[in-house]
Amino acid sequence: MDAQIGKQSLQFAEAPYIVSSASIVGKKEGEGPLGKLFDVVGDDDKFGQDTWEEAESTLQKEAFQMAVGKAGLKPQDIRYLFSGDLLGQTIATSFGLMDYQVPLFGLYGACSTCGEALSLGAMCVAAGYADHVVSMTSSHFASAEKQFRFPLEYANQRPLSATWTVTGSGAYVLGKQRSKARITGITTGKIVDYGIKDSMNMGAAMAPAAADVICQSLSDFGRRPEDYDKIITGDLGIVGQEILWDLARQNGYDISSVHTDCGIEIYDAKKQGTGAGGSGCGCSAVTLSAHFLPKVETGQWQRILFVPTGALLSTVSFNEGMTVPGIAHAVVIEHA
Amino acid sequence: MDAQIGKQSLQFAEAPYIVSSASIVGKKEGEGPLGKLFDVVGDDDKFGQDTWEEAESTLQKEAFQMAVGKAGLKPQDIRYLFSGDLLGQTIATSFGLMDYQVPLFGLYGACSTCGEALSLGAMCVAAGYADHVVSMTSSHFASAEKQFRFPLEYANQRPLSATWTVTGSGAYVLGKQRSKARITGITTGKIVDYGIKDSMNMGAAMAPAAADVICQSLSDFGRRPEDYDKIITGDLGIVGQEILWDLARQNGYDISSVHTDCGIEIYDAKKQGTGAGGSGCGCSAVTLSAHFLPKVETGQWQRILFVPTGALLSTVSFNEGMTVPGIAHAVVIEHA
């Protein structure tokens, strides 16, 4: 059985199920329009820890435990973990997940990591390499600002094109155990570089990669945008969304009527002062789990294309005058 | 067909072949005992670039091209790339490989990345998800010192327990196309933390993870150390090697007669002043390609266990007083 479809996609003959998922977020996300949907909202963004990095590790720890618990499983039932985060050397993942003693594939795909983790996890289960895996990721506003821009204590100002890194972690148990949603296919993205050099305008940096993988996916699977109830990008925000629609239109696809973006949905940008929208690995991970996946599970939606988007930015490359290339990975999720 | 063996291992029914590989290294590695075996030795460690990071990107670019060329393929024949490096947000990979326009799974496993990339690449090919993939990684002495310890310009002194980051990149084309070596199984490692806090003694931090995955692999496959012509760790160096032998012995396995370490073999530590040995993602990647794999391909060796080892160290976690946990991934390579 060959699962290869088109240039960049796979279609799974035995599509793995999303057995369960969990989301944990910070205070600001809890105050946003989706606030009531998350499994846990912390009232202290340090989550009882001394540092922002340990706080982010705690998010991963809790999300893993909740997702595994909801599936009626124990950590030792999970054969592989696919996880990563935004921090240098992905320390939120290392320190967050080591206690569970589950074999780990560490990932780095910037904010596209949830798509990468779901893709590899689905490949693994569909091939019979595991009965259950966990795919997950996290981000934290304060650890990300410190890593990529300025420590919060500097109180620097932010342009309106800047996005706001979501404090949160989302975890997914994938397996053969029947549930109401399954991953039927994936399209793996390439790095796309449009020469953007503004670290405060990540939406513009990521939109070309999102357009590339969405159009490729539609072409590989022989589908039109209307074949999806929603096409959901990760964290383009309002600036990136416009660019995405334009680029997709240039490729012959009008996605404007079915497109939405987790970064736009998670905050009320005007009330909450979050600029162009939410961002970070955690943004798409928690929004899928809390807001979109339930609509697939209930059958309100039959099929969605979930497309977490990443900006391959580092302070080192940025300070050396390099561009910010983007990458995005698409995951087809269907009602089962 | 179920490939799951024991607690943490997979055995491939249709084991993927290592179709070709390539290694490129810096000047110091070229002057070491394996100097004549590498495909390319640069005489300028900047490889014609302006920064150390761009130099490392160039290493990946060249290694990819050489490996693909040796296989008689073109970049567009490669369905997926599995790659990562040590730098924050793995920028050596992003900027090195984006020109090839191959769908990318970005990885972070510290210096275990070569094992992680070969594992995921082999899983992907064995499952029929791709006809050819490239698994690769890199490191660079100067970009790593800047990232993890001190910029070279500080001229700080190094203790003897410190290892020397290898400047180099190794790339592997995996596929169904018959060759002289194949990946018949893998054992995926967990994070193991023995509480080491010395960033200048990575061998001690990684040895427990190496012992854990080697003993688990022997147990999962029902093998004894003597069933391997060599068990080859990535970059434990002479300090880590002793700890590994002790820990394995405590688990009932005497591996001392079949064990070697890429970090020990790549330099003449006394003559070259490299302390405890070589390290970095590139260390195991280039040493397997240039030195060990040919022995399997010619049939001098029938079976080896290749175990790249990683220390999950970041300057942020280190400065916050955290430990340095380790991880290692084992890959079974057999003559075909």
B312–A94 C-beta distance less than 8 A: yes
Instruction: Give the tokens for residue A271.
Output: 């009330």
CA distance B111 to chain A (A): 11
Q: Which of A105-114, A162-171, A202-211, B149-158 has the lowest mean pLDDT?
A: B149-158
CA distance A271 to chain B (A): 32
B-chain residues within 8 Å CB-CB of A325?
94-95, 98
A317–B108 C-beta distance less than 8 A: no
Averaged pLDDT, B64-72: 98
B8–A95 C-beta distance less than 8 A: no
A108-118 pLDDT, tens per residue? 999 999 999 99
Averaged pLDDT, A264-286: 94
pLDDT-based confidence at B189, cuts 50/70/90? very high
CA distance B324 to chain A (A): 10
- Residue A1 pLDDT greater than 60, yes or no: no
- Say what percent of chain A tops pLDDT 70: 99
A134-192 pLDDT, tens per residue? 999 999 998 888 777 777 777 777 777 788 999 999 999 999 999 999 999 999 999 99
Domain segments of chain A: what residues?
Answer: 17-175, 181-335
- Residue A284 pLDDT greater than 60, yes or no: yes
Nearest to B313 by CA among B208, B141, B233, B193: B193
- Say what percent of chain B tops pLDDT 90: 80
Q: How far apart are CA B16 and CA B182, in angstroms?
A: 6
Averaged pLDDT, A48-66: 94
B326 in A contact zone (CB under 8 Å):
no
B199-246 pLDDT, tens per residue? 778 888 999 999 999 999 999 999 999 999 999 999 999 989 999 999
CA distance B153 to chain A (A): 17
Cβ-in-10-Å burial (0-12, 13-18, 19+) of A242 comes to middle
Place of tokens 């009602």: A335
- Residue B301 pLDDT greater than 80, yes or no: yes
B325–A98 C-beta distance less than 8 A: yes
- Residue B148 pLDDT greater than 80, yes or no: no
Q: State how far Cα B238 lies from the chain centre.
A: 17
B53–A106 C-beta distance less than 8 A: no
The two beta strands, B181-187 and B9-11, are antiparallel
Q: How far apart are CA B103 and CA B121, in angstroms?
A: 13
- Residue B69 pLDDT greater than 90, yes or no: yes
A33-51 pLDDT, tens per residue? 999 999 999 999 999 999 9
pLDDT-based confidence at B2, cuts 50/70/90? low
pLDDT-based confidence at A328, cuts 50/70/90? very high
B-chain residues within 8 Å CB-CB of A10?
129
A-chain residues within 8 Å CB-CB of B202?
none
Under 8 Å CB pairs connecting chains A and B tally to: 172
Q: State how far Cα B13 lies from the chain centre.
A: 24
Residues B300 and B321 sit within 8 Å (Cβ to Cβ): no
pLDDT-based confidence at A2, cuts 50/70/90? low
By CA distance, what is A101's nearest residue in B?
Answer: B190
In this prediction, residue B317 carries a pLDDT of: 83
pLDDT-based confidence at A32, cuts 50/70/90? very high
Of residues A94, A107, A314, nearest to B87 (C-beta): A314
Averaged pLDDT, A286-298: 98
- Residue B1 pLDDT greater than 60, yes or no: no
- Residue B145 pLDDT greater than 90, yes or no: no
A197 in B contact zone (CB under 8 Å):
no
CB proximity under 8 Å: B 154-173 to A: none
**3 state SS for chain A:** CCCEECCCEEECCCCCEEEEEEEEECHHHHCCCCHHHCCEECCCCCCCCCCHHHHHHHHHHHHHHHHHHHCCCCHHHCCEEEEECCCHHHHHHHHHHHHHCCCEEEECECECHHHHHHHHHHHHHHCCCCCEEEEEEEECHHHHHHHHCCCHHHCCCCCCCCCEECCEEEEEEEECCCCCEEEEEEECCCCECCCCCCCCCHHHHHHHHHHHHHHHHHHHHCCCHHHCCEEEECCCHHHHHHHHHHHHHHCCCCCCCCEEEHHHHCCCHHHHCCCCCEECHHHHHHHHHHHHHHHHHCCCCCEEEEECEEECCCHHHHHCCCCCCEEECEEEEEEC
In this prediction, residue A89 carries a pLDDT of: 82
B-chain residues within 8 Å CB-CB of A139?
none
> What are the start-end ranges of the E strands in B16-128?
17-25, 40-41, 80-84, 104-106
A-chain residues within 8 Å CB-CB of B1?
128
B-chain residues within 8 Å CB-CB of A193?
98
In this prediction, residue A29 carries a pLDDT of: 97
Identify the residue with better confidence: A197 or B288: B288
A195 in B contact zone (CB under 8 Å):
no
Averaged pLDDT, B300-322: 90
In this prediction, residue A319 carries a pLDDT of: 83
In this prediction, residue B199 carries a pLDDT of: 75
CA distance B271 to chain A (A): 32
B-chain residues within 8 Å CB-CB of A212?
none
A212-265 pLDDT, tens per residue? 999 999 999 999 999 999 999 999 999 899 999 999 999 999 999 999 999 999
ipTM: 0.96
- Residue B155 pLDDT greater than 90, yes or no: no
A145 in B contact zone (CB under 8 Å):
no
A120–B105 C-beta distance less than 8 A: yes
CB proximity under 8 Å: B 7-26 to A: 8, 10
A193 in B contact zone (CB under 8 Å):
yes
Please give the class, per CATH, of domain A17-175: alpha beta
Query: CATH fold of A181-335, please?
Result: Peroxisomal Thiolase; Chain A, domain 1 (3.40.47)
Averaged pLDDT, A272-290: 94
